[in-house]
Chains A and B, each alone.
Chain A
């Protein structure tokens, strides 16, 4: 249909003029399409003395498939879809494995049962907010990504497996709950597309999140208390089923 329409419009023109016309129409449609970035990067293992802890990590579906969709504000702009989920999981796996003596991943009731009595605590990361800017928004030649994470820690005994395999945690049982922010920016560079620049800014933000987490973990008051005094978590209450994630 589109090809016929193009043929109709461009009939009578030379081959080159038709080609140019087709290119122009293609560019016009490209400008209006959604722009997608699947964040990818190589993340180094942290160089630090591992804490003598065995931790389990639960990546919720929301975290592992995290993405942000930003609808275009005007005709001159494009929709943006930034998928960070895969990169988040890859990055935090690398970081946590370097920070702690041992790290296991709990996905469902089965993996929960397999690690009973072998884990000191469970970490549950979440992306609380993500914002980005590109030069079109700010008129500054810098691409930026700002992320806010929320981390929660709970004893393994307070994570419950349901019959359908999902995990549930009573929100009152978290013994540490804190947020941290991360920021990544990259200047415009010659022959670098918007997508490449947003990807690079996201990778810088992830690295910044890791640096922030690694250097502040032991200083979070609840964590410091737990690590120094080995205080047991609060008394158990009836677990609240929250599907695959926490409450």
Chain B
């Protein structure tokens, strides 16, 4: 192959990967603006967004409020772009961009699938048949430019420093909020920015410290290697349960959402550091928050929930084994496994996004001193203790001999089986619920209606109370 062909073989997959990641995050971000409101409405017994309507003659399309996403986007573009007269014009315009950049740049190191060997995707035999071969379970196909072999890692940039890159970018997120608050020339904005800066600086320490235990087990900083470790052993959430919860809390705090939304507490600070923003500049702050939900979900999935791995599905196919006894071993074509793994990764990310929205509507906001106490007096000591404990247990297991190692292998396989059973149960429940929905009660009788009845009104029309 010539140099230009090699360039194409390297650049085209890179561009496709960037398009996949950016496209996913933008679409999920837009979807989340709807999901957050719709789910909040369902949790709080309201109707939720339903006014946006597409009308063509007698045809009406409401799509359960999904059109609000498009309507909001259009509105952002046509609203007046107001700037406070005494604001610092340059910094005021710069702040939304500075907020967006780190959120998007984190996508570069998130692996969404195992390395693809393009040579092994399909073969065409001499008599015109197509065969889909399987690849080996371990050992990623090495790059071999002489024989035109370019394995495609499903990750935009395979950095040696891996997760450190994520921390480096997470630190930049504060700057955008600080700039927005300072340049707005508004005391509420400034207070919001101060809160944002102190909160994010504090929780960033926890974010870094909590992961050290996980690094010690995985033995690497490369995110794709972490996912591979989890596929061969057990998922991170089973080997480092404490870390998972601490990291989850810190990640929610970093994205400044309820229960950690002190910087934009609407009952105290109007809307915090972006009070003065309008139009698409406000839209960028708003949208960056939802994209941060998506990227933090991706990080959680890759570090703790096995990334692209499904239980028992490996690179070479399906292998159900406990310890050394193998129950099922079925080779599967490389192309199918790859597609399935990529879908698995994005499915897990969507699940965690939903879960973060669920958390948002379930918990009340912390008070400021509670927030700081939680960070410095609870989460940080827990993560330090976790490092210590992990070190001791790791050393004990290393010196314990083959029997313990075999026992742990079985335990790891049991966790995989547990995950498989849980997923199967919920998928079946979902299918059954979709085919035969549970019966609707004719009246929505919530707690408020019961109270109204106690106060003398009737249960059916609580307004009379």
Tell whether A and B belong to one assembly: no
